[in-house]
C-alpha cells in the first residue's frame, strides 16, 4: 500500500488561497502567486510537479468545496490525467468523467473515501488536496507525509492549512528541502 500524502502549495504564513476564494476566484484574491512555480516551473519544479508524481500517484481525495470551486477552471481537461479522484461530499452525485479523469463522489465518510482511494491506488500513493480534507485526515492521524510547496509570499489572509487539526503537536521528520526561485519544496514524514 502506498502513502497518504498532503500535497499542497501555500504561503509562508500558512494560507492555501488568498481571501475571497470562490467559484470564478478559486485561488482567492492574490492567490495565484501560490502556484506561480507550477505555471513557470524550473527543472526542479518540473520534477516535483510532473515527473515524480506521475510515477507514484495512484489516486486523489479532495473535498466537495474544492471540487466545486476548481471544476470550472479545470474544464474538460483536469490536471489529474487518468488518476481517479474521490470527492468527499454530503451530496450524492453520479461519477463524473472529464477528459480521462473520473471523479467518484463519496458520501459515507472520510474513512470510506480513503479506503476506496487506496484500493484504486494499489501500491501507489493517495494525494490529499485542499485545506479541509488535509485537516481532517491530519486530525485523524491518517497522513503519512506532507509535500508542502511554500511560496515566497505572505498573504496575511485566506484559507489557512493548519487549523482544526487537534490540540496535540505533530512531530515531523524532514525528508527533503528543495529551494527554487519562486517556492521552497518541503517534504516531511509524520512521526507516529
Residue-by-residue DSSP string for 18-35: -SS-BTTBTT-TTGGGGG
Q: Is residue 2 part of a domain?
A: no
Q: Is residue 3 part of a domain?
A: no
Question: What CATH number corresponds to the domain at position 51?
Answer: 3.40.430.10
| Tally of structural domains, the chain | 1
pLDDT in tens, the chain (192 residues): 899 999 999 999 999 999 999 988 889 999 999 999 888 888 877 776 677 777 899 999 999 999 998 888 888 888 888 999 999 999 999 999 999 999 999 999 999 999 999 999 999 999 999 999 999 999 999 999 999 999 999 999 999 999 988 888 999 999 999 999 999 999 999 998
Distance CA 103, CA 92 (A): 12
Domain hosting 157: range is 8-19+28-190
**Contact call for residues 48 and 178 (beta carbons, < 8 A):** yes
Q: Is residue 1 part of a domain?
A: no
Q: In sequence order, which residues have a C-beta less than 8 Å from that of residue 133 and are 6 or more positions away?
A: 61, 62, 63, 66, 88, 110
Amino acid at each position: 500500500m502506498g502513502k497518504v500524502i498532503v500535497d499542497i502549495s501555500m504561503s509562508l504564513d500558512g494560507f492555501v488561497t488568498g481571501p475571497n476564494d470562490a467559484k470564478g476566484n478559486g485561488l482567492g484574491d492574490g492567490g495565484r502567486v501560490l502556484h506561480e512555480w507550477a505555471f513557470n516551473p524550473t527543472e526542479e519544479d518540473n520534477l516535483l510537479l510532473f515527473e515524480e508524481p506521475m510515477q507514484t500517484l495512484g489516486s486523489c481525495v479532495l473535498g466537495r468545496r474544492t471540487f466545486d470551486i476548481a471544476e470550472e477552471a479545470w474544464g474538460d481537461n483536469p490536471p489529474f490525467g487518468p488518476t481517479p479522484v474521490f470527492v468527499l461530499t454530503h451530496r450524492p452525485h453520479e461519477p463524473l468523467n472529464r477528459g480521462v479523469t473520473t471523479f467518484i463522489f463519496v458520501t459515507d465518510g472520510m474513512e470510506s473515501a480513503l479506503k476506496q482511494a487506496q484500493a484504486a491506488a494499489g501500491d501507489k500513493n493517495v494525494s490529499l488536496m485542499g485545506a479541509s480534507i488535509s485537516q481532517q485526515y491530519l486530525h485523524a492521524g491518517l497522513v503519512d507525509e506532507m509535500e508542502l510547496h511554500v511560496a515566497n509570499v505572505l498573504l496575511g489572509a485566506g484559507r489557512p492549512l493548519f487549523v482544526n487539526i487537534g490540540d496535540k503537536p505533530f512531530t515531523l521528520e524532514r525528508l527533503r528541502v528543495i529551494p527554487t526561485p519562486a517556492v521552497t519544496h518541503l517534504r516531511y514524514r509524520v512521526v507516529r
